[in-house]
A and B are shown apart, each in its own frame.
Chain A
Amino acid sequence: MTQLRDLFEEAANSAPPPSRLVADELYAAGRRRRRRRTVANYAAAVALVMTAGTGIAALAGHERSVSGEVGVDQKQSSPGALPHHGERIQWSGAADARHLYLSMSTQLSCSKEPCAKSIVQLVASDDGGRTWSDRGGPINAASFEVLGPGRLLAVLHDSPGPKWTLQTSTDGGRTWHRLDQAPPVAAVPTGSVAVCWPESNKAPSPCRMHALDPATRRIAPLTSQPALTLSDDLRIRESAGRLWASGVDPATGRPGVAVSRDAGRSWSTQVFADAPACSRAGCPAPYLAAGNGPIGYAVVLGAQQRVVYRYEENDGQGAGGWQRVPGAGSVPSDRLPGGVQSFVTADGTHVLFQVVTQSDQDVDAHRWWRAGADGTYEAVEPVGLPDTVNPIRRTSNGWFYTHSYLDKVVYGSTDGWHWSPVARGS
């Protein structure tokens, strides 16, 4: 066989002429081929769905629906098609991998004069991004929160007048209802969620912890409040049976976190005295991230430095403790804008965001830094995720999602490492 191979070798090596092939040209051609195939597949899928669209439209009644080729559980081969051609995704939220919500800009529909940018159109999908429909008409909203499948919370403009009110929806955003104030409660009941909202007659004051029941549309302040001036985050983070509230110590102004393990009856507060010095404007509240278990992370922004604290309960009875993570200082911190700073992947890894300025685009990019077992952070690139996406968020059942403002794509992931488009705008 060796001799036969020699014959092949001789024949193959008969003084070949120089090759005209160039790697860069081939790579570029390959990329063009991929784009063409993607567009062709996408167009075919859209054509197929539009063919069946008449029946879907009849079922959907007056709600406009746009379909794509997306399944759930991350097994879809191509993303669904978002409605409202040309409009931007302003916000994305999810209850789980099936129930997705977006607020989209309405600028293109304003034919005569610019619309207020807070006027958005809520669109939603109940099938993991396969089909999307408008939920009600354009609304003037300051923020949205997803409380569960079909259950939403929003800060809506209560016209006429300058007043913003907290309203809930239990039909996926089709209709909204104001809340009734209820007497104080000792803990957040089952079926309710913890929110931070100013008391109704003290609007400019710092928010206070409340229990909100979207079914009965009642909101009640908690009897026991954390010993912190709480941040403005509407939704109180909840994971592994713990409530996590961030704020600053009213006495010293230092950042701190309060954790409740009994639905808000009592709070264990940690003020980070060794946090880095803050700017003259004061310390911002820490930014929290938690995974499946009772482990949490608080990211504290100083004037020129960012530090991470890790919360861990070392037994099943006593309170947990916060420890400073030493390696976070190695993550570049030349730019420290506020907002979500990190997330925890399905395997429990803490991932920090680094904001990177792009000279050729108007939006910032992200780099991601993964914490190792020894507390050091190393740069990592989640597969399938562009660097211009919004901060990654996680549903209560551990599904990850985010969206890209520039290319109008919603991305989903089951583990936080591997991403795929769930829906795509045009």
Chain B
Amino acid sequence: MRSHEDEDRRQFSEYFAARRGVVRHSAYLMCGDWHWADDLTQAAFIRVASAWHRVRDPQALDAFVRTCLIRTYLSETRRVWRRRERVVAEMPDLASGNDDAESVARRVAFAQALRQVPPRQRVTLICRFYQGLDVTETAVALGCSEGTVKSQTAKGLATLRKVLGDALPVPALACATEGKE
């Protein structure tokens, strides 16, 4: 049905325009490389497009694209030829116009610390603290138990704390391993 196809394409374009930024930034936090982040975003949205006829609810779409992104990333980190997980002395960084020296330093330090966190723990932290998911939603996105989410969160935060020391906000640690329940 051509008109139906056109409508699907239009709806997908609207959804892509609305969510591209969030997905791309999440991907960047995961992998630390904008080009790789584009690859991950592309793979996630292609999967969404291939299933566009099945998923209509915006909430379900967000969860679906998140799951696609996470699984694509974790899958790639397990591939030998795509081992981009590497620790570099200095994070490549671009000034964003209104950066001051303090914020740049904080951002670079946090990005370096995030790179020290293993991929799965890092994804857990991103789900919990960047995307604002609770333990249950994070468990669904990662395809694991809620207990695993809590332990991965604790381990990830411990790694961050080890690198950042006092620079990591302490109150966050109190909430980190709690679920929404």
- A interface residues, Cβ below 8 angstroms from B: 1, 3-5, 7-17, 19-21, 23-24, 26-31, 33-34, 37, 365, 381, 384-388
- A10: chain B residues within 8 A (beta carbon): 103, 106-107, 110
Over the window 135-162 of chain B, the binary record of Cβ atoms lying under 8 Å from chain A Cβ atoms (1 yes, 0 no) is: 0000000000000000000000000000
- A4: chain B residues within 8 A (beta carbon): 129, 168-169, 172
Instruction: Given contacts A12-B29, A30-B45, list 13 more A-B pairs with CB under 8 A.
Output: A1-B176, A3-B169, A8-B129, A12-B130, A13-B96, A16-B37, A21-B24, A21-B42, A24-B13, A27-B12, A30-B47, A30-B48, A30-B49
CB <8 Å contact, A381 and B50: no
User: A8–B176 Cα gap in the complex (Å)?
Assistant: 14
- B interface residues, Cβ below 8 angstroms from A: 1-4, 8-9, 12-13, 16-17, 20, 24-26, 28-29, 34, 37-38, 41-42, 45-53, 93-97, 103, 106-107, 110-111, 114, 125-126, 129-130, 132, 168-169, 171-172, 175-176
CB <8 Å contact, B130 and A24: no
User: A30–B12 Cα gap in the complex (Å)?
Assistant: 11
Within the complex, the shortest CB–CB distance from A354 to chain B, in Å, comes to: 12
CB <8 Å contact, A1 and B110: no
**Closest B-chain residue to A21, C-beta based?**
B42
CB <8 Å contact, B47 and A33: yes
- A17: chain B residues within 8 A (beta carbon): 34, 94
With A1-B172, A3-B172: A11-B29 Cβ-Cβ less than 8 Å: yes
- A8: chain B residues within 8 A (beta carbon): 29, 110, 125-126, 129-130
CB <8 Å contact, A33 and B29: no
- B47: chain A residues within 8 A (beta carbon): 30, 33
List 7 A-B pairs, Cβ < 8 Å.
A9-B130, A14-B94, A16-B37, A21-B20, A21-B38, A27-B49, A385-B1
CB <8 Å contact, B1 and A387: yes
CB <8 Å contact, A7 and B132: no
Top-6 shortest CB links A-B: A30-B49, A3-B169, A4-B172, A12-B25, A15-B96, A8-B130
Within the complex, the shortest CB–CB distance from A26 to chain B, in Å, comes to: 5
Within the complex, the shortest CB–CB distance from A220 to chain B, in Å, comes to: 46
CB <8 Å contact, A5 and B16: no
- A26: chain B residues within 8 A (beta carbon): 12, 16, 42, 45-46, 49
- A3: chain B residues within 8 A (beta carbon): 169, 171-172
Within the complex, the shortest CB–CB distance from A61 to chain B, in Å, comes to: 40
With A1-B172, A26-B45: A387-B3 Cβ-Cβ less than 8 Å: yes
- A388: chain B residues within 8 A (beta carbon): 1
CB <8 Å contact, A20 and B172: no
CB <8 Å contact, B93 and A14: yes
- B114: chain A residues within 8 A (beta carbon): 11
- A15: chain B residues within 8 A (beta carbon): 94-97
The 8 Å CB contact of A11, one of B13, B107, B175, is B107
Within the complex, the shortest CB–CB distance from A378 to chain B, in Å, comes to: 15
CB <8 Å contact, B13 and A14: no
CB <8 Å contact, B106 and A16: no
Within the complex, the shortest CB–CB distance from B52 to chain A, in Å, comes to: 7
Within the complex, the shortest CB–CB distance from B13 to chain A, in Å, comes to: 4
Within the complex, the shortest CB–CB distance from B127 to chain A, in Å, comes to: 11
- B176: chain A residues within 8 A (beta carbon): 1
User: A31–B34 Cα gap in the complex (Å)?
Assistant: 26
- B13: chain A residues within 8 A (beta carbon): 23-24, 27
- B126: chain A residues within 8 A (beta carbon): 8
Within the complex, the shortest CB–CB distance from A108 to chain B, in Å, comes to: 27
User: A21–B94 Cα gap in the complex (Å)?
Assistant: 21
CB <8 Å contact, A1 and B171: yes
- B97: chain A residues within 8 A (beta carbon): 15
CB <8 Å contact, A14 and B130: no
The 8 Å CB contact of B12, one of A19, A23, A33, A365, is A23
The 8 Å CB contact of B25, one of A5, A13, A20, is A13
Within the complex, the shortest CB–CB distance from A181 to chain B, in Å, comes to: 48
- B16: chain A residues within 8 A (beta carbon): 21, 23, 26-27
- A29: chain B residues within 8 A (beta carbon): 42, 46, 49
CB <8 Å contact, B107 and A14: yes
CB <8 Å contact, A16 and B25: yes
The 8 Å CB contact of A31, one of B50, B94, B125, B171, is B50
CB <8 Å contact, B49 and A21: no
CB <8 Å contact, B130 and A5: yes
CB <8 Å contact, B38 and A19: yes
User: A33–B45 Cα gap in the complex (Å)?
Assistant: 12
- A31: chain B residues within 8 A (beta carbon): 49-50
**Closest A-chain residue to B172, C-beta based?**
A4
- B1: chain A residues within 8 A (beta carbon): 365, 381, 385-388
Within the complex, the shortest CB–CB distance from A175 to chain B, in Å, comes to: 40
CB <8 Å contact, B17 and A23: yes
User: A109–B1 Cα gap in the complex (Å)?
Assistant: 31
- B53: chain A residues within 8 A (beta carbon): 384
**Closest B-chain residue to A32, C-beta based?**
B50
User: A36–B144 Cα gap in the complex (Å)?
Assistant: 29
User: A34–B26 Cα gap in the complex (Å)?
Assistant: 25
CB <8 Å contact, B169 and A33: no
